[in-house]
């Protein structure tokens, strides 16, 4: 069991963070077994299938995979490819790559609940992998954007946008929480000058606060990196 927690911003020099532990259990990465929700180890089916059935199952599997990664629905939402932005955070063994953007995502549930009347919702499609630490909000809630003289975008909590993403059949970045890899959409809300629009020329910043591994006592120094947003 390895856990990490954010260092308190106002703590005295050398003090460790208190009370914000996020428990993330390591998972096997060799693909040897997969666990069911009830804790049972899944076993391959022993019943033979005909070649026709296998063909049908293969087609169904491909359809399911397309639905899971959201590629078709992302195109329908106006997703654009961007020159891949990759952040390598050596302190925690993390690599995050973002390769698509939706610049004006319709989020009626979020808008109604939080009374958002000005500012677009932007989605970035990202993948995150770590060497061994379980992924949690300390590692996937790290992005922000800036553009123009007074425009910016701040990342939304995945839970606040999950209903709108589900309605659009788009995977949320937090769906792989507790594992060493996740892929999905990160939502950001644009603020600053009225009618600010995210476009090429904006920058995307990865910023992670210092963390402590409560199991080992290891402390991971904070890390930040800023890269340009370039549409393909």
Nearest C-alpha neighbor of 176 from the set 124, 123, 129: 129
Indicate whether 192 belongs to any domain: yes
Indicate whether 40 belongs to any domain: no
> What is the pLDDT at residue 50?
43
Task: Indicate the pTM of the whole model.
Answer: 0.71
As a whole-number percent, the residues of the chain with pLDDT over 70 amount to 66
Residue 42 burial (C-beta neighbours within 10 Å; 0-12, 13-18, 19+): exposed
Higher per-residue confidence, 196 vs 169: 169
Mean pLDDT score of the chain, rounded to an integer?
Answer: 76
CA atoms within 13 Å, Cβ hemisphere of 180: 15
> What is the pLDDT at residue 182?
97
- Per the structure, the complete domain to which residue 111 belongs is given by 2-9+52-228
Tokens representing 55?
């063909």
Indicate whether 17 belongs to any domain: no
Indicate whether 32 belongs to any domain: no
Indicate whether 189 belongs to any domain: yes
Strand boundaries in the chain, DSSP class E? 2-6, 22-24, 80-89, 94-102, 121-130, 143-147, 151-155, 181-192, 203-208, 211-213, 219-220, 223-228
Return the CATH number at 108.
Answer: 2.60.40
Strand boundaries in 57-216, DSSP class E? 80-89, 94-102, 121-130, 143-147, 151-155, 181-192, 203-208, 211-213
User: Which helix (H) or strand (E) covers residue 142, if one does?
Assistant: none
Higher per-residue confidence, 209 vs 114: 209
> In this structure, what DSSP letter does residue 157 have?
P
The confidence band for 144, taking pLDDT boundaries of 50, 70 and 90, is very high
Indicate whether 93 belongs to any domain: yes
Q: Which residue has the tokens 């955070």?
A: 89
Beta bridge partners of residue 145, listed in sequence order: 153, 204
- Residue 62 phi/psi, 5° resolution? -60, -40
Domains contained in the chain, number = 1
Give the mean model confidence (pLDDT) for residues 21-49. Answer: 35
As a whole-number percent, the residues of the chain with pLDDT over 90 amount to 53
**Out of 51-55, 73-77, 195-199, least confident range:** 51-55
Indicate whether 213 belongs to any domain: yes
Q: Is the pLDDT of residue 41 over 90?
A: no
């Amino acid at each position: 069991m390895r856990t990490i927690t954010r260092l308190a911003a106002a703590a005295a020099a050398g003090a460790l963070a208190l009370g914000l532990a996020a428990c993330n259990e390591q998972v096997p990465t060799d693909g040897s077994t997969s666990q069911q929700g009830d804790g049972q180890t899944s076993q391959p089916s022993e019943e033979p299938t005909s070649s026709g059935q296998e063909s049908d199952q293969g087609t169904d599997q491909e359809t399911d995979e397309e639905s899971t990664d959201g590629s078709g629905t992302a195109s329908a939402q106006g997703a654009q490819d961007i020159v891949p932005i990759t952040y390598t955070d050596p302190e925690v063994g993390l690599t995050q790559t973002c390769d698509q953007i939706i610049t004006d995502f319709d989020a009626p549930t979020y808008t109604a609940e939080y009374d958002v009347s000005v500012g677009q919702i932007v989605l970035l499609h990202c993948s995150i992998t770590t060497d061994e630490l379980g992924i949690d909000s300390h590692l996937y809630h790290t992005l922000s954007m800036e553009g123009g003289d007074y425009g910016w975008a701040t990342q939304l909590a995945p839970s606040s946008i999950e209903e709108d993403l589900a309605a659009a059949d788009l995977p949320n970045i937090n769906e792989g929480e507790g594992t060493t890899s996740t892929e999905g959409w990160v939502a950001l809300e644009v603020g600053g000058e009225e009618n600010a629009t995210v476009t090429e020329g904006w920058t995307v910043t990865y910023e992670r606060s210092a963390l402590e591994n409560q199991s080992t006592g290891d402390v991971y120094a904070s890390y930040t990196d800023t890269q340009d947003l370039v549409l393909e």
